[in-house]
């Protein structure tokens, strides 16, 4: 299936416009009533909603006949996720790291991915504050702006691995277990609360692994393609590559296969979930 030659540039232009005209004007300036709790512990702002509408409208114009699955649309129409493997599908997280955005922390991202017949093909993660774009194309590598990135392929024991463990959503008994096992690593980090920051940090060497519990497609398809194109892995505990259409909990992202195996065996435990 032939895609427009200028697709990448057009998508990036839309993302940057959403960041500049919708998201950043409200950063540190949210008014009363512009933040609500859509579910326990999960915030949404007017910036999330307006950004998703803006981006979705323009993505459909960029690729006529495509379908858009946005985080906020899926919140009110959960069955739209069933279409993720059907034809040309955009996945949109209009403001990843909403809690950080509300708390005036500069750790949030705009994320878009294109799926073609179930295969992640393009991925984009834009930091609105810095303007840095991390992006990937299937078979053509991962980039920070125009610089190609590669993950470390160094083999290392668990005692030398720095990893982030995002445990807020873990069941209580598993949270306790993981906290103990995390002490086996060189450094167990709390994470940034934003997948669009976490994945680039791993690829650029700030950490060697990230352990997620929830694995929603708009949160992880962009980063998973980005990491794989850089030489890393994004897998379930059973060794299967992360796929948007496969429901389940638990996701391990690592800079290379060896680190993934070390984390599965010695930090998580193969019988953990």
The residue among 213, 209, 202, 186 whose CA lies nearest residue 257 is 209
Where the chain has pLDDT below 70, the residues are 1-2, 270-273
Q: What are phi and psi of 151, to 5 degrees?
A: -80, 160
Angle between helices 217-230 and 195-203 (to 10 degrees): 10
Could you tell me if 255 and 206 are in contact, meaning their C-beta atoms sit under 8 angstroms apart?
no
Does domain 158-268 fall into CATH 3.90.1310.10?
A: no
Segments making up each domain of the chain, as ranges: 7-149, 158-268
Q: Give the C-alpha separation, 167 to 158, whole Å.
A: 19
- State the pLDDT at residue 173: 76
Question: Helix or strand or coil: residue 54?
Answer: helix
**β-sheet bridge partners, residue 189:** 164
Q: What is the pLDDT of residues 152-171, one digit of tens each?
A: 999 999 999 999 988 777 77
Query: From edge to edge, which strands make up the β-sheet containing 133-137?
Result: 67-70, 88-96, 109-116, 119-126, 133-137, 141-144, 147-149
Q: What are phi and psi of 240, to 5 degrees?
A: -80, 140
- State the pLDDT at residue 272: 59
Pairing of strands 35-39, 187-189: unpaired
- State the pLDDT at residue 32: 84
Q: Which CATH number fits domain 7-149: 3.30.70.120, 3.40.50.10330, 3.40.50.2020, 3.30.540.10?
A: 3.30.540.10
User: What is the chain's Cα-based Rg?
Assistant: 18
- State the pLDDT at residue 155: 97
pTM value? 0.95
Element (H, E) at 162: strand 162-165
């Amino acid at each position: 299936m032939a895609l427009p030659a200028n697709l990448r540039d057009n998508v990036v232009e839309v993302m940057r416009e959403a960041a500049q005209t919708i998201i950043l004007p409200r950063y540190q300036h949210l008014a009363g009533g512009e933040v609500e709790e859509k579910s326990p512990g999960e915030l949404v702002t007017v910036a999330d909603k307006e950004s998703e509408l803006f981006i979705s409208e323009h993505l459909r114009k960029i690729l006529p006949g495509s379908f858009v699955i946005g985080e906020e649309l899926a919140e009110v129409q959960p069955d739209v996720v069933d279409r993720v493997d059907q034809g040309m599908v955009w996945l949109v997280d209009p403001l990843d790291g909403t809690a950080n955005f509300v708390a005036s922390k500069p750790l949030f991202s705009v994320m878009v991915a294109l799926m073609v017949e179930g295969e992640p093909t393009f991925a984009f993660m834009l930091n609105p504050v810095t303007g840095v774009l991390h992006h990937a194309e299937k078979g053509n590598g991962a980039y920070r702006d125009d610089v190609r990135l590669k993950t470390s392929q160094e083999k290392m024991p668990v005692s030398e691995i720095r990893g982030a463990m995002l445990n807020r959503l873990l069941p209580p008994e598993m949270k306790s277990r993981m906290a103990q096992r995390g002490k086996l690593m060189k450094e167990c980090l709390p994470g940034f609360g934003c997948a669009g920051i976490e994945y680039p940090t791993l690829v650029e060497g700030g950490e060697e692994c990230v352990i997620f519990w929830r694995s929603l497609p708009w949160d992880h398809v962009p980063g998973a393609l980005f990491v794989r194109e850089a030489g890393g892995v994004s897998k379930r505990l059973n060794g299967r590559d992360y796929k948007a259409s496969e429901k389940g909990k638990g996701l391990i992202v690592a800079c290379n296969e060896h680190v993934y195996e070390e984390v599965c065996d010695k930090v998580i435990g193969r019988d953990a979930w």
